[in-house]
């Protein structure tokens, strides 16, 4: 069956009003209708009707989506274009085969043994990280990817992944909430300090923090590439890991992972695997963002976040914004002594990372990011703070390319300033 059949009714909901033109970052960048949500929905409809081919032009249009959900949030008719695009990519992948990049992603994501530092860096982050490697290097030949470019600034990869640093259960005070920490790849391999900050904060509140060792990548790169079979396998492994211990919450400090557990697992996997649906729902209902949960549990940022005077600005990750988590991190940040929060213009605009969008459309992704960098620097902030390690990487790349010295930090790093100094 054509996977698009599953979203047939969703496709019909689109009335072609064009409201998404105002909110779609892909459209803002490309300025052509096939890139806007409405265009992609129309193309998916025609694909389903079988009157266009799965040719390069269809492929190109479907690749122009950051899966940011901005259109979905603003669509008067609740058209889930992000989901539709993933399913369209699945349909494309089934008929045309996965691209080399996504095949590599799939292999690594599926194979737990490969989830070691080396394989992860080489394959998932490889395309991003090896841009600085000369064109002629054998390394590049091993990754024959559809993009080239030597500009990208690469974050340091952690010596010791976060997951290997701590025991699985860190007991807190009795009667206090029990929290399962879903770490995510970026925190595990790159921004380990975000994981440490999360741990410190929830321990400060007396919570028991559980960090299941068997947890995997959330699978967003797989969803992004239409490799939903891989995503299903990952989801199953993650479900098992997250269900292993009795807990009150599943906490993420990565907006993208949170979005996957909260929204995309139920929409993409739950719907087609009814046998998993209930478990997926249960985890989705428990999934909370770290800042959201900290506020809910009554964190006093004046106890944990005090530090030197610093002027910051806040970037809304799409996958927090579309879950209405915009107020909580700001309130906590403002409550941290020494922190001055200055709003940038367009804090709600996408940073341009977009799943694997920035692999295929690196220049455009940077172009989207450039406006962001300019807005950040205009505030005169010393640091831009956000709630997603994916955004952190993208923001820091953009800022460095502009020669800006503004630092990039996670909300939790600010909130835990006095805990860890």
Partner 1 sequence: MLESRIIDQLKKIVGDDNVATDRQDLICYGYDATQMEFLPDAVVHPGSPAEIAAILKLANAERFPVFPRGAGSGFTGGALPKGGGIVLVTTRLNRILRIDTENLIAEVEPGVVTEQFQLAVEKLGLFYPPDPASLKFSTLGGNVAENAGGPRCVKYGVTRDFVMGLEVVLPSGEIIRTGGETYKGVVGYDLTRLLCGSEGTLGVITKIIFKLLPLPEAKKTMLTVFDSIDGAAKAVSTIIGGKIIPTTLEFMDYATLQCVEKRFNLGIPAAGRAVLLIEVDGDRELIEKQAARIQELIKPLGLVECKVAKDAAESEALWKVRRLVSPSLRDVNPTKYNEDIVVPRSKVPDVIRKIDAIAQKYAIPIVNFGHAGDGNIHVNVMIDKEIPGMEEKAHEAIAEIFKAALDLNGTMSGEHGVGLAKQPYIPLELSPVQIATMQAVKKALDPNGILNPGKMFPT
Ligand X SMILES: Cc1cc2nc3c(=O)[nH]c(=O)nc-3n(C[C@H](O)[C@H](O)[C@H](O)COP(=O)(O)OP(=O)(O)OC[C@H]3O[C@@H](n4cnc5c(N)ncnc54)[C@H](O)[C@@H]3O)c2cc1C
* Residue with smaller CB distance to ligand SF4, 23 or 152: 23
DSSP string, 321-336: HTTT-SHHHHHHHHTS
The dihedral formed by the CA atoms of 158, 160, 163 and 166, expressed in degrees to the nearest 10: -130
Question: Which residues inside 32-51 make contact with ligand SF4, applying CB under 6 A?
Answer: 37-38, 40-41
Determine if 61 is a binding residue for partner 1 (CB under 8 A).
yes
Stretch that binds partner 1, among 33-41, 97-105, 140-148, 299-307 (CB under 8 A): 33-41
- Measure the CA–CA gap between 384 and 314, rounded to whole angstroms: 6
Rounded least distance, CB 57 to partner 1, Å: 4
CA gap 45, 354 in Å, rounded: 23
> Any contact of residue 46 with partner 1 (CB under 8 A)?
yes
Nearest approach in angstroms of CB 79 to ligand SF4 is: 4
- Evaluated on CA atoms 109, 110, 112, 113, the torsion sign reads negative
Q: Which of 5, 18, 151, 160 binds ligand X (CB under 6 A)?
A: 18
Using the rule CB under 8 A, which residue among 18, 97, 146, 149 binds partner 1?
Answer: 18
How many positions of this chain bind ligand X (CB under 6 A)?
2
The alpha-carbon radius of gyration of the chain (Å, integer) is: 21
Burial call 303-334: b when 16+ CB within 10 Å, e when fewer: ebbeeeebebbbbbbbbbbbbebbebbbebbe
For position 316 contacting ligand SF4 by CB under 6 A, the verdict is no
Site string for ligand SF4, 64-103 (x = CB under 6 A): -xxxxxxx---x-x-x-xx--x------------------
User: Least distance to partner 1 from the beta carbon of 3, Å?
Assistant: 19
Backbone angles phi, psi at 372, to 5 degrees: -60, -50
Tell the smallest beta-carbon distance from residue 187 to partner 1 (Å).
Answer: 35
| Count of CB atoms situated within 10 Å of the CB of 135 | 9
CB of 21 to ligand SF4, least distance (A): 8
Residues in a beta bridge with 19: none
Residues that bind partner 1 (CB under 8 A): 12-13, 15-22, 31-34, 38-39, 42-43, 46, 52, 57-58, 61, 76-78
């Amino acid at each position: 069956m054509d996977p698009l059949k599953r979203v047939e009714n969703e496709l019909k909901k689109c009335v072609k009003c064009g409201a998404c033109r105002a909110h779609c970052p892909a459209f803002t960048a490309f300025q052509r209708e096939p890139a806007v949500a409405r265009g992609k929905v129309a193309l998916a409809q025609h694909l389903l009707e079988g009157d266009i081919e799965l040719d390069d032009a269809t492929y190109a249009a479907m690749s122009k989506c950051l899966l940011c959900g901005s259109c979905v949030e603003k669509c008067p008719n609740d058209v889930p274009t992000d989901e539709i695009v993933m399913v369209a990519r699945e349909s494309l992948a089934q008929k045309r085969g996965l691209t080399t990049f996504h095949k590599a992603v799939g292999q690594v994501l599926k194979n737990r043994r490969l989830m070691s530092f080396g394989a992860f860096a080489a394959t998932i982050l490889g395309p991003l990280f090896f841009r600085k490697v000369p064109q002629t290097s054998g390394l590049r030949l091993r990754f024959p990817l559809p993009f080239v470019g030597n500009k990208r600034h690469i974050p340091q990869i952690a010596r010791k992944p976060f997951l290997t640093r701590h025991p699985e259960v860190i007991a807190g005070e009795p009667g206090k909430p029990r929290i399962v920490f879903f770490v995510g790849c970026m925190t595990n391999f790159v921004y380990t300090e975000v994981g440490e900050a999360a741990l410190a904060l929830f321990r400060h509140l007396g919570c028991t923090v559980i960090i299941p060792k068997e947890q995997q990548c959330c699978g967003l790169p797989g969803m992004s590439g239409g490799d939903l079979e891989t995503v299903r396998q990952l989801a199953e492994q993650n479900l098992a890991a997250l269900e292993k211990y009795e807990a009150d919450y599943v906490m993420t400090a990565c907006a993208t992972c949170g979005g996957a557990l909260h929204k995309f697992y139920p929409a993409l996997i739950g719907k087609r695997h009814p046998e998993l649906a209930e478990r997926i729902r249960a985890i989705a209902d428990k999934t909370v963002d770290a800042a959201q949960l900290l506020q809910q549990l009554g964190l006093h940022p004046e106890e944990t976040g005090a530090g030197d005077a610093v002027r910051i600005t806040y970037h809304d990750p799409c996958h927090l914004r579309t879950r209405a988590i915009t107020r909580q991190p700001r309130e906590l940040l403002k409550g941290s002594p020494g922190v001055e929060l200055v709003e940038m213009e367009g804090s709600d605009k996408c940073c341009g990372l977009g799943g694997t969008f920035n692999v295929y459309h690196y220049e455009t992704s940077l172009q989207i990011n450039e406006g962001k960098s300019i807005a950040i620097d205009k505030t005169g902030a010393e640091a831009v703070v956000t709630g997603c390690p994916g955004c952190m990487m993208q923001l820091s790349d953009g800022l460095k390319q502009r020669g800006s010295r503004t630092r990039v930090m996670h909300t939790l790093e600010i909130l835990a300033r006095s805990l860890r100094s």
